[in-house]
Amino acid sequence: MIALRRSLPATPREWRNFLLGVAFASPWIIGFLAFTIIPISSSLYYSFTRYDLVRDPVWIGVRNYVAFADDADFRLVAGNTLWWVLLSSPLGVVSAFLMALLLNSRIIFRSFFRAIFFFPAIVPVVVTAFVWIFLLNIQYGAINSTLQAWGFKAIPFISSPKLMKSSLVVIHMWSQGAAMVIFLATLQDVPRSLYEAATVDGATAFRRLWNITIPMVSPVILFNLVISFIGGFQYFTLPWIMTQGGPSRSAEFYAIYLYRNAFQWFRMGKASALAWVLFLLILLFTYLLFRSSGRFVYYAGAAR
């Protein structure tokens, strides 16, 4: 009670500020109720029902959740998604980091190269999808028809279930501009004096990278990794446009399966349950990432 009383405005001036503050924040407060609280709670409710949008929701308890245990489709998409997240996130972060390192070294035309590396990140995803479909086409794609002309066998980048996900990883590494820019800004903030001191002590370029650069940017590595994990679990648009989750469902990711359940088969209950499991998975992985990061991440400001 005391805590509550202390958190309430007391003086007229505090009241005035409180009302003003709430008034200015009211768009978000209303939106939070309408587009977050109500949807989230109804999503939780729907996840315990069978609901096809035509008839009213029917309460079925935890059956949607229990059914995942022996749902072959669920296992398939969960497996694909785990593969995707565990591979694409670290590789994407490495790709972004290496590009930033290159750009941060002493080079001419830096902003020109930076623009080139960054641009794929802001191209509409549909365009990325169409261009790569064509580039990687087994017969007439630029890569395969070059290979054929040189007498090699064509590589079924997007027509073989074995290669599809790897091709997506390559495209993912190609469009890491945003993470790269964040790395670049951080790299530029690493104090010069550290490098100078290390050079005087005779440290090699590799030692400087390993013992100065990486520790100094490690919080941002973690940040980019977390963002990438969260995005990776919700990966949808590119595989959906390119092959609708194919070939042979090799790129049928969690979000694609969720989309099908919700908007193709109108199983709103099951789709909601899927969404909640996804949410819990994301929370779990983010937590694990933060937990395990303690030993690897160096916070310059933190007392230890």
Residues between 91 and 110 with contacts to another protein, criterion CB under 8 A? 99, 102, 105, 107
Nearer to another protein among residue 70 and residue 144 (C-beta): 144
The token duo for 272 is 């909601």
Instruction: For 249-283, give the DSSP string.
Output: TTT--HHHHHHIIIIIS--HHHHHHHHHHHHHHHH
Contact 80, 253 (CB under 8 A): yes
Q: For the window 180-219, what string marks contact with another protein as x by the rule CB under 8 A?
A: -xx-xxx--x------------------------------
**Three-class secondary structure of residue 43 per DSSP:** helix
The token duo for 217 is 């940017």
- Tell me the chain's radius of gyration from C-alpha atoms: 25
Least Cβ distance, residue 56 to another protein (angstroms): 12
Residues between 214 and 233 with contacts to another protein, criterion CB under 8 A? 220, 223-224, 230, 233
Q: Binder to another protein among 48, 255, 260, 285 (CB under 8 A)?
A: 255
Binding residues with another protein: total (CB under 8 A): 94
Nearer to another protein among residue 210 and residue 263 (C-beta): 263
Residues between 10 and 29 with contacts to another protein, criterion CB under 8 A? 14, 17-18, 20-25, 27-29
By CB under 8 A, residue 241 contacts another protein: yes
Which region, judged by CB under 8 A, interacts with another protein, from 33-41, 58-66, 76-84, 159-167?
33-41
Q: Binder to another protein among 178, 198, 212, 216 (CB under 8 A)?
A: 178
The token duo for 161 is 């279930």
**Three-class secondary structure of residue 153 per DSSP:** coil
Residues between 111 and 130 with contacts to another protein, criterion CB under 8 A? 111, 113-120, 122-127, 130
Nearer to another protein among residue 70 and residue 109 (C-beta): 109
Query: Exposure pattern of 14-49 as b/e (b: 16+ CB <10 Å)?
Result: eeeeeeeeeeeeeeeeeeeeeeeeeeeeebeebbbb
The token duo for 74 is 């669920």
Residues between 271 and 300 with contacts to another protein, criterion CB under 8 A? 271-272, 274-276, 278-279, 282-283, 286
Nearer to another protein among residue 164 and residue 282 (C-beta): 282
Residue 120 C-alpha from the chain's centroid: 16
Nearer to another protein among residue 114 and residue 249 (C-beta): 114
By CB under 8 A, residue 76 contacts another protein: no
Q: Tokens 């996840």 label which residue?
A: 47
Q: CA dihedral defined by 87, 134, 245, 240, rounded to 10 degrees?
A: 100
The token duo for 97 is 């980091």
Q: Binder to another protein among 66, 94, 142, 197 (CB under 8 A)?
A: 142
Which region, judged by CB under 8 A, interacts with another protein, from 77-85, 157-165, 234-242, 289-297?
234-242
Paired with 58 in beta bridges are 50
By CB under 8 A, residue 85 contacts another protein: no
The residues, any chain, with a CB within 8 Å of residue 13's CB and separated by 6 or more, are: none
Q: Which amino acid is at 9?
A: P
By CB under 8 A, residue 74 contacts another protein: no
Nearer to another protein among residue 24 and residue 294 (C-beta): 24
